[in-house]
Every structure is written in structure tokens, then in C-alpha cells.
A = this chain, B = another copy of it.
Amino acid sequence: MNNDKGKFGHILVIYHSKDGHTKKMAEYVAEGSSEIPIIEIKIKSINEANKDDIYWADGIAAGSPTQLGTVSVEMKKFWEDLLPEWQKIDGKIGCAFSSEGGWGGGAELTCQALLTIMMNYGFLVFGVTDYVGKQFTLHYGATQAGEPREEKEIASCRRLGRRLAEWVAMYCYGRKEYNPLKGDYLRQY
């Protein structure tokens, strides 16, 4: 998805996936980011990503399976391995997504753990006020039991990616026309 002509805002979607659920979420998050035309997107598993990808990115969406109510060992290791870069990457924009075994199983807490890790690197992190379907939102990141299948579940991932792209466009590149407050799409059901 990279190196498209006329694109300059950089978004990295990184994920760790055990059963393919978080990978599926990552793909929808990336799709959502691509709704903003100026954004170039990389999507990588934590095995593929490295510190250069982090430096490259203006905004980062990080996804982990919910494992015991927090990030997986593998996802945590990715961020610990990045420690030599600490205090050199402050100010990036971050958000989170997670797939849990069942609703009520800790995906919100896992998103919060991911945001905590990113805050530790000096990132500005956010959730999304929008509802993307009846009784379905992503206030602290996109959460999901298992794999996203229903329309609202897919919309939740996409909205996260779109919002990240909007903030990057607006804050990193001064493109105020992408302020979601001016968006003409449905934000509440």
C-alpha cells in the first residue's frame, strides 16, 4: 500500500495475531486509514516491523490479542525491544485494538495497556467517540470477541483507522479539512 504518489502522511498498523483475529482487525483498520487520500499505510506483524517503521510513522495503530486481560507476551516484547529508541520517538499519535475470547473478557483493558505502553514512549493516544452501529462503539480502541464478522464490528476497526488518519492529516500536516468534527459521515446511531 506504500509509496503512492501524492501521499505523505505515514500510518503504521502493527499487530500480533494468534488465531488470525487480530490480523483481520488490522486489515480493516488499514482500510479505514486509506479513506483519507493523503495517507500512506504500512501494515506489518510485529515479526515484520522494526524500529525504522516506527521512525517512519506519524501515527501507529497497535493490535494485540487479549491474553489474561492485557497484551500478549509477543506484543510486549516488540515494545521492550524498542527500548533503545526511548525518548527519541516522543509525540507520535497512537491508538489500539484487541480481539478477546468473549465479550467481557478484557479487550478494553488490553487496549488500555497498549495505550499505556505507547504513552510510556511519549505518544499522544486516543479513542473514538463515534458509535458505528446500534450499541457499538470504540471509546478506548476497537474491541472484538473473536473475529470481526458483523458490519458494525468491521465498521469499528475501519473507524479507528480513519480517525487515526484524520488526526495525522490534521495535526502532523495542518490539513484542517480532515478534522472529523467537520466530517459528513454518521457518528452516532
Listed in ascending order, the chain A residues whose CB lies under 8 Å from chain B are 67-73, 76-77, 79-80, 83, 86-88, 90-91, 93, 101-109, 112-113, 116-117, 119-131, 134-143, 145-146, 156, 167, 170-172, 174, 179-181, 187-188
Contacts and interface: CB of A to CB of B under 8 A. Distances in A.
A187 to B, nearest CB: 6
Given A68-B116, A104-B143, A181-B88, A121 B129 contact: yes
Contacts of A68: 76, 79-80, 83, 116-117, 120-121
Most chain B Cβ neighbours within 10 Å, of A76, A77, A179: A76
7 contacts: A67-B80, A68-B76, A69-B140, A90-B181, A91-B181, A105-B139, A125-B125
* Total copies of the chain: 4
Contact of A109 (B109, B123, B131): B109
Nearest to A76: B73
Contacts of A80: 67-68, 72-73
